C-alpha cells in the first residue's frame, strides 16, 4: 500500500465522519470497559475450569450455602461465593460405560453431543442437590451431596443414579426449563430421542408422573425459557407453576403458514390428572399470549414475538410480582429487541377471562361465549372448590365435563398486555444480539430505579436504565455501562444476581464470571463526572464517587441526580471543576499551510457533544465558536482542517456539553507553518527509494511525514508501516475504502489534495496514534470511549 493512500485511509478510517452534530445520544454506553479493564480493577473474576472451558449448561446460585454450582460437560463444579472465590471443587460425571459409543452409533456427534452435559441443578434437601445430565443421549439423574451450610463438599451418590427421561433433554443445546417444587421436578422440554415430543412433565415425587396430553396439541414446537412456582395468593392449594415459552403455531386467522408467539402457561401444583379423562395428564393446564409490541403509523404494530429470556422481580412486600421479559423480532429483515414488563396481577386477570374458542381448524378464534362448567377449568382444587356440597378436593373428582372443556380450551382469548401497554425499552440497530436479562430495583436519592443488565451474544453485559417520563411519553434509555466480561466473543447463556453480595454471575459456554454490579470510582474523581454517570448505585459523597445507600449516613451530603444528570445543579461548589476548567494546559501543535491538520478532542463519555472555540492571536474579543464548513469539519474525535490556512492559527478550546454541563477537554495552540519555513527545515532531496505519490513526482514532504510515523512506531519497524496501519485503523483494508463516509471524503480529499503523502498528515496523529497503539483494540467505528479526555497531548513539532 502506498503511504499516500495509507494516509488518506488512516485519516478517514479513524475519524469517522458523521453528518451533522457529533452527538451520538444516550443509547451509546457512557462507559465501556474491556475485559482487561474489568480484571485489573477487580470488577470481575473469571472461572473457566481446569481445561479452559466448562461447556457450561446449568448454573445454580445457592445463597443459603454461599455457593455457586455449575453443570458442565461430564462434570459439576462448586465455587464459593465469599472472599476465597472460586476455590473450586469438581466432580467428574461422564456417561456410563458404552453410552458414548452407543450415542455415536446412533449417528450423533461425538464431541458436540455424546457427553453428559449437566443441565439440571436444583436443591433437593438441606444436604443434596438433584442433578440431571444428557448422558450421551440417555438422560440420567442423580443426587449430589453438597454438605451442610459451611461445609464445602461435593460428590455424587452412586446409588442414586436413575433414568432422567422427561427430566432432562437428550441434547445439550435444546431450550429447556425446569423447576423443583415440593420434591417434584417440573420440566418443559422435548422428551424423546428425536426431540419432537414437546411436553410439560412432573416427576420425582410419590405421586404418579404427570405429563401433557400428546393428542391434544397443547404445545407447538415450544422454546421454553423459564419455569417457576408463583403463588397466586396465601392459599398454598392455589400454588401454580408457570412456564414462559415461545411456540410456532398455525396462523391464528386460519391462513396458511405458521407464526411464532410468546406464551405464559401454568399448571396447578396439586393437579393429579383426571379419573376417566386425562388420566396422568394435566387437567389444569392453561396458556395465554404475552404481547409485546410498539404501535406504528396507522394501525400497524411492530411485534416482538420471540421470547429470549424472563426475569422475575419479586416485590419486597405488598406489591405484585413483576415479570421482565426480553423479546426479539422474528422478522428476517428487521432485527430488534424489546423489554416488556408484566404485572403478575394482569396475568391472573387474563386467566380469569374468556377462553379462546375456534369452531374448526379453518375458523377464526373468538371468545368462548357458552356456559363454562364448574369448577372452572384451570382452577386448582382448594377451599374454593371443596365447599360443602361441592366435593372437589382433587382434580380426580372433577366432572368429566370440566376435563373435556379443559382439554378443548387450553388457550385464553385475551393476551397479556405489558405495563403501560408498551415496552420499557426497544433496541434496534444493535451490533450484538441480546440473550439474557436480570433486573435490580435500586433506591436512589430521587426515586427507585430498575437497573437492567442485558447479556449479549458477544460476551458483554449492558447496564441500562429506562427513565419513564411524565404521562405516556416514551421512556428515555440511558446505557450506563458496557462491560466486556469474556475475553472472546461468546454468547451469554446464564445470568444470576445476588443482591446481597451486589454481584452478577454471568455464564457462557466457556465458563462463569463474577461481576460487581457497580464500581463507582470508575466514573471519575469529580462530582460532575459522578453526576453525569447517572448510575443509581453511585453518588458523590463530598470527596469521591461512591456507593449510594439510601437512609444511611445522613450526615454526609450526597449528590445524585439520575433523572436529569445535571451536575451544574448538583455539584455547585463541590470541587475544583470550575477552576480546573481554567487549568487545562495549553499544548502547542503545528500544521503546515495548505495541508490537512487534525486537532483531537476525545470526550470521556461518548454521550457528550464537543464544541470548539477559537481565540485568534491579538483578538480582544472573547473566544468565538469555530465555524465549520467544507474546509473545516468537526468529527467525533476532533476538528479536521482539510486545507489549513495561515489565518487558522490561534488557540482552540474543545468543550464538551453533557446534560447541560460543559467541561474543557483540551486546549491547543495551533501554529501554522508556511511552506517557506518547511523548505528550510526539509530541503528538497528526493531519493529513489522514497515512496512516491501515485503517478506523481516524489514529494519533498514525504520525509517530514515519514519522520512523524517513525517517531510513532520506531525505526526498527520501518517495513511494518502498512501492517501497522491496517491493524490499527483500517482492518480490513478494502473495507476501509468502502466505508461510505470514507469514500465521500476520500474522493474529495484525494482529488483536492492530490494524494500527496502529506495529505493525511496531521499533527495530532501522534497523540491519537500513540493512544491507539497502546490501546491496541479498535472498538468498531464508534470511537474510543475509555481514554481519558484531558490526557496531555503529545505534539511533535517538526524539529
Ligand X SMILES: *[C@@H]1O[C@H](CO)[C@@H](O)[C@H](O)[C@H]1NC(C)=O
Q: Does 83 bind ligand X (CB under 6 A)?
A: yes
Comparing CB distances to ligand X, the nearer of 34 and 490 is 34
Comparing CB distances to ligand X, the nearer of 126 and 383 is 126
Q: Does 547 bind ligand X (CB under 6 A)?
A: no
Which strands, in side-by-side order, build the sheet including 89-92?
58-62, 67-71, 75-80, 89-92
Among 308, 593, 726, 765, binds ligand X (CB under 6 A): 593
C-alpha cell at 653: 478550546
Q: Does 38 bind ligand X (CB under 6 A)?
A: no
Comparing CB distances to ligand X, the nearer of 62 and 397 is 62
Minimum Å gap between C-beta 686 and ligand X is 14
Minimum Å gap between C-beta 405 and ligand X is 40
Comparing CB distances to ligand X, the nearer of 200 and 704 is 704
- From the list 264, 230, 229, the residue with the least C-alpha distance to 416 is 264
- From the list 190, 184, 311, 307, the residue with the least C-alpha distance to 241 is 184
- The angle that helices 702-713 and 721-728 make with each other, rounded to 10 degrees, is 70
Comparing CB distances to ligand X, the nearer of 124 and 409 is 124
Three-state DSSP at 64 gives coil
CA separation for the pair 568, 658 (Å, rounded):
10
Minimum Å gap between C-beta 742 and ligand X is 17
CB 508 within 8 A of CB 491: yes
Site residues for ligand X, 606-645, by CB under 6 A, read none
Q: What is the DSSP string of 53-106?
A: -----EEEEETTTTEEEEE-BSEEEEEE-STT----EEEE-PPPTTHHHHHHHT
3-state SS of the chain: helix, strand, coil percent to 5? 20, 35, 50
Minimum Å gap between C-beta 337 and ligand X is 31
CB 174 within 8 A of CB 59: no
Q: Does 594 bind ligand X (CB under 6 A)?
A: yes
Which strands, in side-by-side order, build the sheet including 177-181?
177-181, 184-190, 198-203, 210-211
Site residues for ligand X, 129-148, by CB under 6 A, read 143
Among 138, 432, 595, 637, binds ligand X (CB under 6 A): 595
Three-state DSSP at 461 gives strand
Comparing CB distances to ligand X, the nearer of 701 and 729 is 701
Minimum Å gap between C-beta 602 and ligand X is 26
CB 590 within 8 A of CB 628: no
Among 20, 42, 387, 695, binds ligand X (CB under 6 A): 42
CA dihedral over 567, 572, 578, 579, signed as positive or negative: negative
Site residues for ligand X, 699-758, by CB under 6 A, read 701, 753-754, 756, 758
Q: Does 765 bind ligand X (CB under 6 A)?
A: no
For residue 332, give every residue at least 6 positions away whose Cβ sits within 8 Å of its Cβ, in sequence order, or none: none
Minimum Å gap between C-beta 753 and ligand X is 4
Q: Which stretch binds ligand X (CB under 6 A): 7-15, 73-81, 288-296, 593-601?
A: 593-601
For residue 604, give every residue at least 6 positions away whose Cβ sits within 8 Å of its Cβ, in sequence order, or none: 524, 529, 656, 665, 785, 788, 789, 790
Q: Does 592 bind ligand X (CB under 6 A)?
A: yes
Minimum Å gap between C-beta 670 and ligand X is 16
Comparing CB distances to ligand X, the nearer of 347 and 503 is 503
Comparing CB distances to ligand X, the nearer of 203 and 329 is 203
Minimum Å gap between C-beta 674 and ligand X is 7
Comparing CB distances to ligand X, the nearer of 305 and 535 is 535
Minimum Å gap between C-beta 514 and ligand X is 8
Minimum Å gap between C-beta 705 and ligand X is 10
The phi and psi torsions of 150 (rounded to 5 degrees) equal: 95, -25
Comparing CB distances to ligand X, the nearer of 129 and 426 is 129
Minimum Å gap between C-beta 399 and ligand X is 38
Q: Does 127 bind ligand X (CB under 6 A)?
A: yes
**CA atoms in the 13 A half-sphere facing the CB of 378:** 22
- From the list 798, 785, 794, the residue with the least C-alpha distance to 32 is 785
Site residues for ligand X, 664-693, by CB under 6 A, read 675, 678
CA separation for the pair 381, 630 (Å, rounded):
77
Minimum Å gap between C-beta 142 and ligand X is 10
Q: Which stretch binds ligand X (CB under 6 A): 125-133, 336-344, 384-392, 427-435?
A: 125-133
Residue nearest to ligand X (CB): 675
Alpha carbon distance, N-terminus to C-terminus of the chain: 27
Comparing CB distances to ligand X, the nearer of 37 and 397 is 37
Among 125, 299, 387, 553, binds ligand X (CB under 6 A): 125
CA separation for the pair 348, 30 (Å, rounded):
39
CA separation for the pair 757, 768 (Å, rounded):
19
Minimum Å gap between C-beta 724 and ligand X is 22
Alpha helices in 616-683 (DSSP H): 675-681
CA separation for the pair 182, 162 (Å, rounded):
19
Minimum Å gap between C-beta 127 and ligand X is 4
Q: Which stretch binds ligand X (CB under 6 A): 313-321, 347-355, 588-596, 622-630?
A: 588-596
Among 128, 207, 707, 779, binds ligand X (CB under 6 A): 128
Residue 36: DSSP 8-state: H
For the purposes of burial, counting CB atoms within 10 Å of the CB of 199, is it exposed (0-12), middle (13-18) or buried (19 or more)? buried
For ligand X (CB under 6 A), the number of binding residues is 20
CB 579 within 8 A of CB 571: no
Q: How far is CA 477 from CA 425, 439, 657, in A?
A: 7, 15, 19
Site residues for ligand X, 140-199, by CB under 6 A, read 143
The phi and psi torsions of 721 (rounded to 5 degrees) equal: -55, -45
Q: Does 799 bind ligand X (CB under 6 A)?
A: no
Site residues for ligand X, 307-366, by CB under 6 A, read none
Which residues contact ligand X by CB under 6 A?
42, 83, 124-128, 143, 592-595, 675, 678, 701, 753-754, 756, 758-759
Amino acid at each position: 500500500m502506498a503511504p499516500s493512500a495509507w494516509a488518506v485511509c488512516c485519516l478517514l478510517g479513524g475519524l469517522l465522519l458523521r453528518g451533522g452534530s457529533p452527538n451520538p445520544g444516550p443509547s451509546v454506553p457512557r462507559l465501556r470497559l474491556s475485559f482487561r479493564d474489568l480484571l485489573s480493577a477487580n470488577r470481575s473474576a473469571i472461572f473457566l475450569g481446569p481445561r479452559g472451558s466448562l461447556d457450561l449448561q446449568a448454573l445454580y446460585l445457592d445463597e443459603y450455602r454461599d455457593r455457586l454450582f455449575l453443570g458442565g460437560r461430564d462434570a459439576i463444579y462448586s465455587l464459593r461465593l465469599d472472599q476465597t472465590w472460586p476455590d473450586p471443587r469438581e466432580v467428574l460425571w461422564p456417561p456410563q460405560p458404552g453410552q458414548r459409543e452407543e450415542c455415536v452409533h446412533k449417528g450423533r456427534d461425538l464431541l458436540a453431543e455424546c457427553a453428559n452435559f449437566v443441565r439440571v441443578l436444583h436443591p433437593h434437601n438441606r444436604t443434596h442437590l438433584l442433578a440431571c445430565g444428557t448422558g450421551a443421549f440417555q438422560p440420567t439423574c442423580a443426587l449430589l451431596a453438597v454438605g451442610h451450610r459451611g461445609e464445602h463438599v461435593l460428590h455424587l451418590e452412586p446409588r442414586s443414579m436413575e433414568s432422567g427421561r422427561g427430566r432432562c433433554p437428550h441434547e445439550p443445546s435444546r431450550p429447556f426449563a425446569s423447576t423443583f417444587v415440593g420434591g417434584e421436578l417440573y420440566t418443559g422440554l422435548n422428551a424423546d430421542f428425536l426431540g419432537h415430543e414437546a411436553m410439560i412433565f412432573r416427576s420425582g415425587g410419590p405421586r404418579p408422573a404427570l405429563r401433557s396430553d400428546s393428542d391434544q396439541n397443547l404445545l407447538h414446537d415450544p422454546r421454553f425459557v423459564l419455569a417457576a412456582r408463583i403463588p397466586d395468593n396465601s392459599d398454598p392449594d392455589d400454588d401454580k407453576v408457570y412456564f414462559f415459552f415461545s411456540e410456532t403455531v398455525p396462523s391464528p386467522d386460519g391462513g396458511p403458514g405458521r407464526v411464532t408467539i410468546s406464551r405464559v402457561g401454568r399448571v396447578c401444583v396439586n393437579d393429579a390428572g383426571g379419573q376417566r379423562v386425562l388420566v396422568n395428564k394435566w387437567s389444569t393446564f392453561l396458556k395465554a399470549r404475552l404481547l409485546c409490541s410498539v404501535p406504528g403509523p396507522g394501525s400497524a404494530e411492530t411485534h416482538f414475538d420471540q421470547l429470549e429470556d424472563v426475569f422475575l422481580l419479586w416485590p419486597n412486600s405488598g406489591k405484585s410480582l413483576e415479570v421482565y421479559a426480553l423479546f426479539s423480532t422474528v422478522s428476517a429483515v428487521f432485527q430488534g429487541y424489546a423489554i416488556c414488563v408484566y404485572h403478575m396481577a394482569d396475568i391472573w386477570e387474563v386467566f380469569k377471562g374468556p377462553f379462546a374458542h375456534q369452531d374448526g381448524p379453518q375458523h377464526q378464534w373468538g371468545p368462548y361465549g357458552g356456559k363454562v362448567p364448574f369448577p372452572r377449568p384451570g382452577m386448582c382444587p382448594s377451599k374454593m372448590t371443596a365447599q360443602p356440597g361441592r366435593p372437589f378436593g382433587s382434580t380426580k373428582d372433577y366432572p368429566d365435563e370440566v376435563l373435556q372443556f379443559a382439554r378443548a380450551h387450553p388457550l385464553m382469548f385475551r393476551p397479556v398486555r405489558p405495563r403501560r401497554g408498551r415496552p420499557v425499552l426497544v433496541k434496534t440497530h444493535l451490533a450484538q444480539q441480546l440473550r439474557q436479562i436480570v433486573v435490580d430495583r435500586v433506591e436512589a436519592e430521587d426515586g427507585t430505579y430498575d437497573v437492567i443488565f442485558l447479556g449479549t451474544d458477544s460476551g458483554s453485559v449492558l447496564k441500562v436504565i429506562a427513565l419513564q417520563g411524565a404521562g405516556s411519553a416514551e421512556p428515555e434509555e440511558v446505557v450506563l455501562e458496557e462491560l466486556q466480561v469474556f475475553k472472546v466473543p461468546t454468547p451469554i447463556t446464564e445470568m444470576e444476581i445476588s443482591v446481597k453480595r451486589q454481584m452478577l454471575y454471568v455464564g457462557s459456554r466457556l465458563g462463569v464470571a463474577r461481576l460487581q454490579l457497580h464500581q463507582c470510582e470508575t466514573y471519575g474523581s469529580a462530582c460532575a463526572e459522578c453526576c453525569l454517570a447517572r448510575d443509581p448505585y453511585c453518588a458523590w459523597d463530598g470527596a469521591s464517587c461512591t456507593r449510594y445507600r439510601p437512609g444511611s449516613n445522613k450526615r454526609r451530603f450526597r449528590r445524585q441526580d439520575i433523572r436529569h444528570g445535571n451536575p451544574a445543579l448538583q455539584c455547585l461548589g463541590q470541587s475544583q471543576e470550575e477552576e480546573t476548567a481554567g487549568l487545562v494546559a495549553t499544548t502547542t501543535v503545528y500544521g503546515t499551510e495548505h495541508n490537512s491538520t487534525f486537532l483531537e478532542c476525545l470526550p470521556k463519555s461518548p454521550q457528550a457533544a464537543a464544541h470548539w472555540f477559537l481565540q485568534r492571536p491579538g483578538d480582544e474579543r472573547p473566544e468565538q465558536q469555530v465555524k465549520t464548513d467544507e474546509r473545516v469539519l468537526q468529527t467525533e474525535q476532533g476538528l479536521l482542517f482539510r486545507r489549513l490556512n495561515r489565518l487558522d492559527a490561534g488557540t482552540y478550546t474543545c468543550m464538551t456539553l453533557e446534560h447541560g454541563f460543559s467541561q474543557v477537554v483540551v486546549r491547543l495552540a495551533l501554529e501554522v507553518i508556511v511552506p517557506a519555513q518547511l523548505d528550510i527545515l526539509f530541503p528538497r532531496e528526493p531519493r529513489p527509494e522514497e515512496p512516491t505519490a501515485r503517478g506523481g513526482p516524489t514529494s519533498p514532504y514525504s520525509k517530514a511525514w515519514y519522520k512523524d510515523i517513525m517517531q510513532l512506531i520506531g525505526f526498527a519497524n520501518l517495513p511494518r508501516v502498512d501492517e501497522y496501519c491496517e491493524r490499527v485503523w483500517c482492518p480490513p483494508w478494502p473495507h476501509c475504502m468502502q466505508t461510505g463516509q470514507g469514500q465521500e471524503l476520500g474522493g474529495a480529499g484525494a482529488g483536492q489534495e492530490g494524494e500527496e503523502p502529506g495529505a493525511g498528515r496531521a499533527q495530532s496523529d501522534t497523540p491519537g496514534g500513540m493512544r491507539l497503539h497502546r490501546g491496541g483494540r479498535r472498538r468498531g467505528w464508534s470511537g474510543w470511549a475509555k481514554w481519558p479526555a484531558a490526557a496531555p497531548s503529545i505534539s511533535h513539532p517538526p524539529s
